[in-house]
Amino acid sequence: MFVYIFAQYGISPGVHPYAALPFGDRAYNLGVRLSLVMNPLGSLLAVFVIVRSLKGLGLLTLIATLLEAYEVYLACASPDPPLKGTVIGEIIVVRILVKDTPCIATNYIFLHA
């Protein structure tokens, strides 16, 4: 439980600016605003889609871990991350910031249901 809370409320908000700002203001604003919208949607999704299998939980955990790891990598390479200055780089960083939040929220709810 500590790992999910720490990932969602500790790591993600701390590295969002460092991961997204090198790609521009548009990527930063979209990433932060959409991830704030996706957190309640991810929790709502967990109410209607119930995954009780160990494979499903493992897959969600793997996806959330990989997305969070790539977000931390982008934050560490912050002044000059890969694909900086390209449209595809902006798209990737926004998708990483947006998809990371519901995976963590859904996984947390599944583990405590």
Highest mean pLDDT among 37-46, 56-65, 67-76, 101-110: 67-76
Cα 69-26-6 angle, rounded to 5 deg: 30
Mean pLDDT of 68-73: 88
Residue 2 has pLDDT above 80, yes or no: no
| Range(s) of the domain holding residue 12 | 2-111
Collapsing DSSP to helix, strand or coil, 30 comes out as helix
Collapsing DSSP to helix, strand or coil, 49 comes out as coil
Q: Could you give the CA distance from residue 52 to residue 74 in angstroms, rounded to a whole number?
A: 33
The pLDDT of residue 109 is 60
- pTM metric for this prediction: 0.79
State how many domains the chain has: 1
pLDDT band (50, 70, 90) for residue 77: very high
